[in-house]
Structure 1
Amino acid sequence: MPPKLSVVVCTFNRGKSLKKCLKSLCQQTFSNFEVVIVDGGSQDNTNQVVNRFSQKLKIRLFVDRRPELSQVRDRGWREARGQYVAWIDDDVIASLYWAQEIINTLNDSTHKNIAGVSGPTIINQKLLANRDVFSFYHARGIKKILGEFWNWFFLEGGKFAVGQITKCGAWTPGSNFSQSLKIRKLQDVDYLEACNMTLRRNLIEKVGGFDYGYTGVGEWSELDLAIRVKKLGYRLVFNPKARVNHDISREGVFKRRTHSRQRMENFFRFYFRHIFKFRLDYIFKFSCYLLFLNSYWGYKAISTQNINWLGGWVGTATGFLKVLEKNYENRR
């Protein structure tokens, strides 16, 4: 009998984090699930970790050395046998009732047309402080003023909102904070969290899976998949009880985050496919956001003395050109 749920974990050289992730899956109250691990060719102790937990979990391991994470994630659902497919990161720790809450949400006939579910992806305060995107939240002085502007203008007042994408293309990070645990019922959202995302397998198949046009670390490819499923006429929801803790690792694919050209090209691909409207407010906010992002790439290049961050400037140009090329092809 096939499992009800397939949990896909893509990993690369994160044996220590993967151990904690798999340990949390061993403790789930719901047990009718398999774990599909797609390993990018790890050179650390990943194989030993997988072998150890294979005695407790229904694990199937696949090695896929392709550099594009969107393709590796896509491999996961294609190998999955469950009715529902969940993706979690290898540095995620699932709460005790995480799997059960996913099943409850997707099985509940009183909530119609639900295609996918996500939940809180809590990041502890110490790790939050290390991430630039959250540095505004507890800042002082001029940085606090910039943070207030960031929230008001780019996030449209939604710095603690969950699952929203604003006119400029920014995503609201509310699910990363403990405030999201105070939500009392299912909430419709624009997208699902990449590290805590579950979709119905038949709908993933219907839209063709991941778009391989998202390159590098595949940022925005997960959101793209969820939104394409949503556009079939279904709902995406946030369940505050389907919680994971995201203990962000700086190993593995994290080191490729300096590949900012690909990240910008991915952003352009996503934004003009799903968000952009030919209206003055969208054009103005998007233009301002591009200015902000490119200032950020310059800041990172200077502060880290790593010129690779300036690839974001190149990605802005090439991403825009790809959008123009796509529009030209569609009009032919």
Structure 2
Amino acid sequence: MPLQEASVIIATRNREPYLRDLLSSLCFQSFKDFEVIIVNDSGIPSSREKLENIVRAYLNKLEIKLLHNSRNLGVPVSLNHGASVASNEILVFTDDDCIADKDWLLNLVKWYSNQKVGGVGGRVIPIENDAKWIPKKTRFANIVGKLNWDGDLINNFELGGKPSFVDFLSGANMSFRKNLFRKVGGFSSIYRGNAYRFETDLSLRIKSLGFHLIYDPNAIVFHRRAKSGGCRVSVYEWNYWLGRNHTLFVLRCLRRRVLKVFLFAFKNCIRILMHQRSCPYGKPRKWEKVLWMFFKGLLDGVQIGIKHLLA
């Protein structure tokens, strides 16, 4: 049975050199039946011209569609925009600051010969690892992509090992069947700012339809963590969006919601007070501001979440 064709969808914002490297890596994929859809989320005229020049340089090697947002709309909306014009049945998503291993797409797409598989993700290996300010969950060192009982997430998408069933996929390296993606309504635009939890929300909605999500560590992208562009925000803003978006995720997707929001708030306050939680790419100077921004996001998340639940 032939493998299904794929559409690789990339949202980008003011990261032209990184995007160029990603496109170069896609030229050497062992799996050839794919198109590339780039969504420019900058809204700046100069960015439009730069991206058109980049795409022009790759048109003899890749099938590329380039879309432009009129203004910065965020990652979830941009990826939905890209998915809306996808020609193929497997939607593949990665970040513009990633580089794909040559067998990346092959190791994602091959799983879709099993009709019970709704999504497949892979390994995300940091090249420039500046995540030292996030505490390591040593108790879960060998667990990947699992939702903990208290609503917290166990990521560990850098781990190797064997393919496994997971609860959610990493936004830097994930794929879904197009019909399921559309059936659940795509990514929710409610996750703004750093878009924290947007991929987890979608993963759980697709899994709730009765389909499996697979983590294949042989499907590898290398993540460079660009220091600007994309959905990068300041250390303090990151904590606001952490509180807001995770609270919305819990209220939208999980049972026993109030208890889980309380546990999430308590755990992260302890982490902040112990100077163990700030953001993946920076150390704050004012920890009291980190705490304040987290609480502000938490309260906004509760208010917005309740409004959506009652709507």
TM-score under structure 2 length normalisation: 0.85
- Residue in structure 2 matched with residue 148 of structure 1 by the alignment: none
Which of 144, 164, 186 pairs up with 1:209? 186
Q: Is the 2:168–2:204 Cα contact (8 Å) retained in structure 1?
A: yes
Residues 245/293 of structure 1: CA separation in 2 closer, same or farther (3 Å cut):
same
Deviates more, 1:263-272 or 1:23-32: 263-272
Residue 48 (structure 1) shift: 2.4
- Residue in structure 1 matched with residue 143 of structure 2 by the alignment: 161
- Residue in structure 1 matched with residue 197 of structure 2 by the alignment: 220
Which of 269, 278, 293 pairs up with 2:248? 269
Which of 251, 265, 289 pairs up with 2:267? 289
Does residue 58 of the first structure (1) align with residue 35 of the second (2)? no
- The one-letter code of the counterpart of 1:54 is L
1:159, 1:58 → 2: CA distance?
39
SS where residue 34 of structure 1 aligns? strand
2:157, 2:277 → 1: CA distance?
28
- The one-letter code of the counterpart of 1:267 is H
Residue 278 (structure 1) shift: 6.2
Normalized per residue, the structure richer in helix is 1
Q: Is the 1:120–1:241 Cα contact (8 Å) retained in structure 2?
A: yes
Does residue 82 of the first structure (1) align with residue 82 of the second (2)? no
Residues 237/73 of structure 1: CA separation in 2 closer, same or farther (3 Å cut):
same
- Residue in structure 2 matched with residue 97 of structure 1 by the alignment: 103
Q: Is the 1:210–1:222 Cα contact (8 Å) retained in structure 2?
A: yes
Residue 283 (structure 1) shift: 6.8
Residues 283/38 of structure 1: CA separation in 2 closer, same or farther (3 Å cut):
closer
1:283, 1:213 → 2: CA distance?
17
Residues 35/159 of structure 1: CA separation in 2 closer, same or farther (3 Å cut):
same
Provide structure 1 residue ranges, at least 5 long, that are not aligned to the other structure.
138-150
* 1:144-293 correspondence runs (5 A): 151=137, 157-176=139-158, 180-181=159-160, 183-184=161-162, 186-258=163-235, 259-260=237-238, 261-277=240-256, 282=260, 285-292=263-270
TM-score under structure 1 length normalisation: 0.80
SS where residue 218 of structure 1 aligns? coil
SS where residue 73 of structure 1 aligns? helix
2:231, 2:257 → 1: CA distance?
35
- Residue in structure 1 matched with residue 41 of structure 2 by the alignment: 40
1:323, 1:89 → 2: CA distance?
27
- The one-letter code of the counterpart of 2:175 is T
Residues 228/257 of structure 1: CA separation in 2 closer, same or farther (3 Å cut):
farther
2:278, 2:242 → 1: CA distance?
16
2:30, 2:181 → 1: CA distance?
26
Provide structure 2 residue ranges, at least 5 long, that are not aligned to the other structure.
none
Residues 187/75 of structure 1: CA separation in 2 closer, same or farther (3 Å cut):
same
Residues 268/87 of structure 1: CA separation in 2 closer, same or farther (3 Å cut):
same
User: Percent of aligned pairs with the same residue?
Assistant: 25
2:132, 2:17 → 1: CA distance?
21
Task: Please give the per-residue CA displacement for 1:242-294, whole angstroms capped at 9, x wherever unaligned.
Answer: 111111111202532543333321111112222343697x5774343242365
1:55, 1:77 → 2: CA distance?
23
2:52, 2:95 → 1: CA distance?
17
Does residue 303 of the first structure (1) align with residue 284 of the second (2)? yes
